[in-house]
Structure 1
Amino acid sequence: MKRLVSLVLAGLLSACSGLSNDAKLAQQNEWEQLGYHDGVTGRFARSDAALEQLSPLSQDGKAQYLQGYRYGIEDYCTPYKTYEYGKNGVAYMGQCKNTQHEKLAVQGWEAGYQYYLTHSDLLFWPNDE
């Protein structure tokens, strides 16, 4: 019985110690990598408070995070990629505001989303056969 309890407790402790990838990057002071990941996945930049929840944040860490985020969001906001996001039905939430290719990125997303809407309507079109 003691052995079973020990195994259960060990399993619970290992499950609790599992950190998210974001928390691991922050605790390893990989702020630029975390920022890049947030940007390239289309997230908005995190607030200081949100970053502090992951790990203590220095001014240098914040600057590194923002630099990585700028690189990531620029990669996310290329017109070809935004077209693909729209085509797949991904909603545009303004992530590309103030990026280098903002206008083209939004146009790409709109064109892709129009394609998505046109083709998703066909799924519900009555079959006259």
Structure 2
Amino acid sequence: MKKLLLIPFVLLTLQACTSSPRTPAEYWYGQGERFGSNGYQYDNDVLANLKEKKPFDEVSYKKGYEAGKAEYCDPFKAFEKGIQGVRYTDQCSGQDQEVMIKAEWQRGWDAFIGSDFYKF
């Protein structure tokens, strides 16, 4: 009797672990968001490799990329990126608050560079 109760429990548990397959639009939105939120350029080498594996949905990719880039270019997180040693290479050019982003990034970068002198 215990084995009969165990089988449905195991099947339900396994079913809960499976995920539904993502549509191409969801996949490309996610890839765009990932690249944008990590400061990648819009068109990069990794994207070229991914295009070979799945049909490319540029509209979804662009929407995701813009959402990720907005997160990456948050002026209130720019100082953190600078102090962590992340270089600013115009990833946020054209953003509304580009001047503030650059200033905060530079302030963080200066603190990052200056912290090397205090380690001795």
Global fold match (TM > 0.5)? yes
Aligned residues: 98
**C-alpha distance after superposition, 1:85-104 (max 9, x if no partner):** 10111111211111232221
Stretches of structure 2 lacking an aligned partner (at least 5 in a row)? 1-20
TM-score, normalized by length of structure 1? 0.65
Equivalence for 1:7: none
Partner of 2:51: 52
The 5 Å alignment of 1:28-67 reads 29-47=26-44, 49-57=48-56, 61-67=57-63
Give the distance between the partners of 1:25 and 1:102, measured in 2 at CA: 35
Matched, 1:78 2:77: no
- How big is the shift at 1:110? 0.4
Please list, as runs of the form range in 1=range in 2, the aligned pairs for 1:1-129 lying within 5 A after superposition.
Answer: 29-47=26-44, 49-57=48-56, 61-124=57-120
Structure 1 gap ranges (5+): 1-23, 125-129
Residues in 1 aligned to 2:51 and 2:67: alpha-carbon distance in whole angstroms? 21
TM-score (norm 2): 0.69
User: Per chain length, whose mean CA-contact separation is higher, i.e. which structure has more relative contact order (CA < 8 Å, sep 6+)?
Assistant: 2
Could you tell which deviates more after superposition, 99-108 or 48-57? 48-57
**Distance change (3 Å), C-alpha of 1:26 and 1:84:** farther
Query: Retained in 2: the 8 A contact 1:86–1:112?
Result: yes
User: Secondary structure at the residue paired with 1:79?
Assistant: coil
Identity level (%): 27
CA RMSD in angstroms, aligned pairs only? 2.4
How far apart in 1 are the matches of 2:83 and 2:51? Answer: 36
Contact map agreement 1:39 1:45 (CA 8 A) in 2: yes
